[in-house]
Structure 1
Amino acid sequence: MTAGSDSAAWCAVDLTPGRARAWHLLGETVTGTRQIEMPDEGPGGQSAVDLLRRLCDGMPAMVCGPGLGAAAVAVPAKPGMIVPVPLADGLVHALPGLRQDSPPALMDADAARIAGFLALNPRWDGVICLPGQVTHWAQISADEVVSFQSFLTGETATALAAAPSLRAAGAGEGWDNAAFGAALETAMSRPERLAAGLAAIAAEAVLDRLGPGQARARLYGLLTGAELTAARPYWLGQQVALIGPDAAARPYAEALQRQGVPTTLADEARMTLAGLVAARRRIAGAG
């Protein structure tokens, strides 16, 4: 990627665990997309190289995600100024993530999504929440990530829904907004009742007292409520932008709106691509 490559073919790649996706571009125009399922732990080493070959057909690539060997940048930091790191063959550049020493926190591809959101919304101040298997809350001021906090709510929900006693919470795709709201309120007003609330879901499932989607909604309501209680210093009195897959972001949008928090849902794929395009511009400008 050189200064003369503004209209060259290249590949923007997101190696978020669980899936690998790529956009083929000519300059900044998307000409095609690809997606490959991959292990939830993400690629690493040779597997990342193999994925890039399959996704990019030998084109130069700008990549975000874990396991790429690019050292994370400490916050406070401006995602829009992070310099991509060239990998061994020179055709691939990795966009570093962000890290925080206290409390310890680390984000990989979500740093690209933040960069994309800020590129599309200059001078935006507030909090960006990035729901997923790991959820990040990032405080933004003057285009800078001042601090962030991370939660394993998504991974916890997935693990609990696979447990024998809570299998009803993982069954199907149903959803009950009223059940979600009640569980959310319980967790936020009495967080010490979280484990008891989970046991109640298990018991009511066995007793056949839960309708379609109720067990799942209550599980997510309890866990989301516990997270919002812990993350209150981030969202209280702030505007919040949510960037995540729709299924992960919707419960957070519902929860924040119930707290009266001004909330914007941003398209996760668009933010990811915008962050990678902005990173590629920095490489082209430095060439």
Structure 2
Amino acid sequence: MTDISGAAPWCAVDLAPGQARAWLLQGEAVLARASLDTVPDAPDSGDVAALVARLGTPAVEAPTVISGLTGAAAPVPVPAKPGQITPVRIGPHTHALPGLCQSSPPALMRGEELRIAGFLALNPNWDGVICLPGAVTHWAQVSAEEVVSFQSFLTGAMAEALTTTPLLHAALSGVDWDGDAFAEALDTAMSRPERLAAGLAGIHAEATLGTLSGGAARARLFGGLTGAELAAARPYWLGQQVALIGPDIPARPYAEALARQGVPVTRTDADRMTLAGFNDARRRISAT
């Protein structure tokens, strides 16, 4: 049995899409943390080693639990209970957490199931829908601590791609936000999602003509993309309580959009859910 008891330092490595982070812990106490400045599309064992090295010498020989490592462990088909999935040993002192998959509609969750497990560990007997915004956004239906089904969207990746395209880059620069512009674009996209591409062209035209501020352009982009996603994900959030797990910036459009639909939303601290998921996995490994 690998010793990752409360007295021994251990490492947690999170390789969810768009982020690569690691923590050195003793029990549940965080001793150090690290991240990669540039995150590859598919982080591998070399990235894990680089992260662990940044945590300092004590971490190099410490037992390690990894979430989101591509190819390390076969994903588990839903329905499945994230809090009961057995981590897979991939080295003498290393375990990897399997993701979740679904055949219809085709979907793959790699890393975000860890945050679901953490949320459910902190909120036992919670039923509803968990929304996990990011480069890939997942909507997971949860009942009796089980992910019954989930649907995934590349909304975050699309937004990132659009903000760097030459046609829209100048218009979308900055961090300003126009709440009214967001609400208008959101409502239009939810009622007429087929007009999304036309709305994006309108952002380009108005920004080029100097009649649209950067804050309004950004808000309209995210309003349109989020509205189209909410229209497609309506069976997941309509009439449900929703927990939102994600960093503040990617979670903001979802929080505002769901509030406009009158959906009760529980906001969470994404790092807290991540560490709770790792600690839950650590206890399962120690019990084997």
Tell me, yes or no, if the aligned pair for 1:18 and 1:38 is still in contact at 8 Å.
no
Q: Which moved more, 1:275-284 or 1:17-26?
A: 17-26
Which structure has more RCO (C-alpha within 8 Å, separation ≥ 6)?
Answer: 1
Q: Distance in 1 between matches of 2:131 and 2:93?
A: 32
SS where residue 48 of structure 2 aligns? Answer: helix
TM, length-normalised to structure 2: 0.94
Q: What is residue 129 of structure 1 aligned with on the other side?
A: 131
Q: Does 1:160 align with 2:135?
A: no
Q: Distance in 2 between matches of 1:57 and 1:272?
A: 21
Q: Gaps (5+ residues) in structure 1?
A: none
Q: Distance in 1 between matches of 2:158 and 2:259?
A: 23
Structure 1 residue 174, shift from structure 2 partner: 1.1
Q: Which moved more, 1:218-227 or 1:30-39?
A: 30-39
Structure 1 residue 50, shift from structure 2 partner: 4.1
CA RMSD of aligned residues (A): 1.5
Q: Does 1:11 align with 2:11?
A: yes
Q: Distance in 2 between matches of 1:272 and 1:45?
A: 20
Q: What is residue 97 of structure 1 aligned with on the other side?
A: 99
Residues 279 and 253 from structure 1, CA distance in 2 versus in 1: closer, same or farther, beyond 3 angstroms?
A: same
Q: What is residue 232 of structure 2 aligned with on the other side?
A: 230
Q: Which moved more, 1:115-124 or 1:21-30?
A: 21-30
Residues 37 and 66 from structure 1, CA distance in 2 versus in 1: closer, same or farther, beyond 3 angstroms?
A: same
Structure 1 residue 158, shift from structure 2 partner: 1.0
Structure 1 residue 53, shift from structure 2 partner: 4.1
Structure 1 residue 36, shift from structure 2 partner: 2.1
SS where residue 41 of structure 1 aligns? Answer: coil
Q: Which moved more, 1:131-140 or 1:210-219?
A: 210-219
Tell me, yes or no, if the aligned pair for 1:131 and 1:248 is still in contact at 8 Å.
yes
SS where residue 106 of structure 1 aligns? Answer: strand
Choose from 175, 192, 195 the match for 1:193.
195
Q: What is residue 81 of structure 2 aligned with on the other side?
A: 78
Q: Distance in 2 between matches of 1:31 and 1:10?
A: 10
Q: Distance in 1 between matches of 2:90 and 2:49?
A: 10
Q: Deviations along 1:245-285, whole A, 9 cap, x unmatched?
A: 11000110000000000001111111011001100000111
Q: How does 1:212-231 map to 2 (within 5 A)?
A: 212-231=214-233
SS where residue 274 of structure 2 aligns? Answer: helix
Equivalent AA in structure 1 for residue 5 of structure 2: S
Q: Does 1:22 align with 2:29?
A: no
Identity %: 63
Q: Which moved more, 1:243-252 or 1:24-33?
A: 24-33
Equivalent AA in structure 1 for residue 236 of structure 2: Y
Residue correspondences, number: 285
Q: Does 1:211 align with 2:213?
A: yes
Residues 4 and 154 from structure 1, CA distance in 2 versus in 1: closer, same or farther, beyond 3 angstroms?
A: closer
Q: Which moved more, 1:14-23 or 1:51-60?
A: 51-60
Structure 1 residue 165, shift from structure 2 partner: 1.5
Q: Which moved more, 1:189-198 or 1:132-141?
A: 189-198
SS where residue 16 of structure 1 aligns? Answer: coil
Q: Distance in 2 between matches of 1:169 and 1:17?
A: 26
Q: Distance in 1 between matches of 2:125 and 2:99?
A: 21
Structure 1 residue 15, shift from structure 2 partner: 1.6
Q: Deviations along 1:7-62, whole A, 9 cap, x unmatched?
A: 21111111224432122111122222222223340312444344444443221111
Q: Which moved more, 1:39-48 or 1:105-114?
A: 39-48
Q: What is residue 119 of structure 1 aligned with on the other side?
A: 121
Tell me, yes or no, if the aligned pair for 2:4 and 2:10 is still in contact at 8 Å.
no
Q: Does 1:37 align with 2:37?
A: yes
Residues 240 and 101 from structure 1, CA distance in 2 versus in 1: closer, same or farther, beyond 3 angstroms?
A: same
Q: Distance in 2 between matches of 1:133 and 1:252?
A: 13
Q: Gaps (5+ residues) in structure 2?
A: none
